[in-house]
Structure 1
Amino acid sequence: MAQRSIIKDIVITPVAFHDMPLLNSVGVHEPYALRSIIEIITEDSYGLGESYGDSAHLDRLQKAADKIKGLSIYSTNIIYQKCVESLKTDTNTGGDGMGGMVTTASVADKVFSPFEVACLDLQGKLAGISVSDLLGGRVRDQVQYSAYLFYKWGGHPGHEDDEYGPALDPQGVVKQAKKIIDEYCFKAIKLKGGVFPPAEEVAAIKALHEAFPDLPFRLDPNA
């Protein structure tokens, strides 16, 4: 068992996928969202994690990965310390990897997180149980998704409008909600706020309640 838990290799794969011009309190999402897939490889298995994918963060991940190889997937406290050590010479700026992302997580936590998740994935596989059972057991078997609404431009500058079009006022937000709910049958609504003055966003909330009086609603103030 001990040898099977040793980290033999780590593969970091950058991924980019299309993102819409979604608005929030700090700006707008860029045309492509950058992510990374982290694969920790042991003697006869692998575990997966995911993280940001911009160049600054990829560099940090690789430096940490070089220090983690050879450790046990159970030694997550040591792995965290190795992540901290790998940042001592870090001169990169940025590295959130998500346009408009607001986070209070430390750089060390951001670097460590995908490795920890991959280690937990491997621990569960070696034990023959799910990660939820590894962490104390699941509390539910199903979770309802919400229709996650954003204020948004019709399209990125220089691009045609996307299939959802603009949502810059209450009417546009309600139109977006109707399209998403008609397509995916969501039973709850969430709106990303923090874009316009409070009175304008209150008007959008009231318009959503009028259009969908029976659906629960959440506001993400993002401010």
Structure 2
Amino acid sequence: MKITDIRATTVAIPLDAPLRHANGGHWGRFVRTIIEVDTDEGLTGLGEMRGAGAATEDAFLALRHYLIGHDPFDLEQMRFMLLNPTAALYGNRTHLHAAMEFACLDLMGKYLGLPVSKLLGGPVRDRIEFGSYLFFRYANEEGNGEIETPEQLADYAGRMRDEHGFHTHKLKGGVFAPGHELECYNAVGERFPQDGLRYDPNSVLSVDESIRFAREIDDLNNDYLEDPTWGLNGMRQVRERTSIPMATNTVVVNFEQLATNVRDPAVDVILLDTVFWGGMRPCLKAAGVCETFQLSVAMHSSGELGIQLATMLHLGAVIPALPFAIDSHYHHLLDDVIVGGKMQYRDGALDVPTGPGLGVELDREKMERYADHFRKVGNYVYDRDPKRPGWFPLIPNERWAQPS
């Protein structure tokens, strides 16, 4: 089997409401690039990553120079073609490689009639538990969906619990001063004392603020504290002076950083991301290292649609130790580009696809509809907030109380 073409299409999928984070926001949509990899066997493999319109599409089309005529089964050759040291030095292709790896594994599974989980070693579970991903939100165009107060946040967590069965709740913080976010986090913990909790302010707190916040929430049912401050040294200082496990998807996202953390621990829980780490296979390798050195793993969400979500499900199926519900923005999406529409949670979990390859198929009509939507609304700048023109975050954030 040989690759004959690579195609890329950028789509914009509407969100229930704009999601705010420490550096800006997701302004009412996720922008993703869908790739299709055609072969001489008549099979097409699917991949996905965060999109930026023509720039991302052109980056994928440039890979034709490397990959036309390549056998999708030869994944190690592709890794060295795309991720060799020179390529890493002059132009990081990690995310591009991840999307291509998704498509190649999808092709392999379709060719063999096997789900990707079988290609990765075989599933040890057939359902993956998820948590609610809580954001402070602006109201949508209809004037609904705002989340700013403790009551609004706890009410939204309750609605997600009722609708989807989530029993873990992660707050994306760093939007307001830590004192206000502490009240909001406590409100969720008090409303659902048996549920797992996580706080992720996107590394904007100082070391001292991080320690103070951790000590204030020590009596709650915390899974971990995710990236409260920046850098391995900052995380190490927080870890040494608090009792809550530290987690990261920012400072341990490759094997060099993982080795450093093994040698001099700063993080207890490594959040794997099938795009950030460069694919499913690197994540599985990283999980093996973590198993060897008795580090826990969980899974990070990078705003995925159904194609990347399927990669997360197949990966979660084959990792022996996955003690935490995994993250996903998926419940904030209003639609998807896969056949059948959005996957449906049942008791807070999604079934691992059992069809050949990734087990999802592209709904071409929806892809074209949301590609047209992208052409109308365009991209957005992740680290800017249109409602606060000229604003940018100060890091570390040294404001414990909200200014009057």
TM-score of the superposition, structure 2-length normalised?
0.45
- Given that 1:144 and 1:187 are in contact with CA atoms closer than 8 Å, whether structure 2 keeps it comes out as no
2:6 pairs with 1:21: no
2:2 pairs with 1:6: yes
Deviation at 1:18, TM superposition (A): 0.8
Partner residue in 2 for 1:48: 46
Q: Which runs of 4+ in 1 moved over 3 A?
A: 80-85
Deviation at 1:108, TM superposition (A): 0.8
**Letter paired with 2:9:** T
Partner residue in 2 for 1:154: 139
Structure 2: runs of 5+ lacking an equivalent: 204-404
Counterpart of 1:12 in 2: which secondary structure?
strand
Partner residue in 2 for 1:68: 67
2:171 pairs with 1:186: no
**Letter paired with 2:100:** F
Cα deviations by residue, 1:44-84 (Å, 9 ceiling, x for unpaired):
32211111221222221111134311111122243345446
Counterpart of 1:13 in 2: which secondary structure?
strand
Please give the root-mean-square deviation of Cα atoms over the aligned residues, in Å. Answer: 2.3
Partner residue in 1 for 2:95: 110
1:77-156 to 2 correspondence within 5 Å?
77-83=76-82, 107-155=92-140
Counterpart of 1:107 in 2: which secondary structure?
coil
**Letter paired with 2:201:** P
Structure 1: runs of 5+ lacking an equivalent: 92-105
**Letter paired with 2:8:** I
- Given that 1:64 and 1:82 are in contact with CA atoms closer than 8 Å, whether structure 2 keeps it comes out as no
2:17 pairs with 1:37: no
- Given that 1:21 and 1:29 are in contact with CA atoms closer than 8 Å, whether structure 2 keeps it comes out as yes
**Letter paired with 1:192:** K
1:182-221 to 2 correspondence within 5 Å?
182-221=162-201
User: Number of aligned pairs?
Assistant: 197
Deviation at 1:31, TM superposition (A): 2.7
**Letter paired with 1:220:** D
- Given that 1:24 and 1:195 are in contact with CA atoms closer than 8 Å, whether structure 2 keeps it comes out as yes
Q: For CA contacts below 8 A with separation 6 or more, give which structure has more relative contact order.
A: 2
- Given that 2:8 and 2:35 are in contact with CA atoms closer than 8 Å, whether structure 1 keeps it comes out as yes
Aligned mates of 1:134, 1:14 — CA distance in 2: 28
Deviation at 1:208, TM superposition (A): 0.6
**Letter paired with 2:60:** L
Partner residue in 1 for 2:350: none
Counterpart of 2:99 in 1: which secondary structure?
helix
Partner residue in 2 for 1:172: 152
Aligned mates of 1:178, 1:65 — CA distance in 2: 48
Partner residue in 1 for 2:291: none
- Given that 2:33 and 2:56 are in contact with CA atoms closer than 8 Å, whether structure 1 keeps it comes out as no
- Given that 2:6 and 2:38 are in contact with CA atoms closer than 8 Å, whether structure 1 keeps it comes out as yes
Counterpart of 1:178 in 2: which secondary structure?
helix
Identity between Structure 1 and Structure 2 (%): 35
Counterpart of 1:143 in 2: which secondary structure?
strand
- Structure 1 pair 82/10, CA: closer, same or farther in 2 (3 Å)? same
- Given that 1:10 and 1:38 are in contact with CA atoms closer than 8 Å, whether structure 2 keeps it comes out as yes
- Given that 1:21 and 1:154 are in contact with CA atoms closer than 8 Å, whether structure 2 keeps it comes out as yes
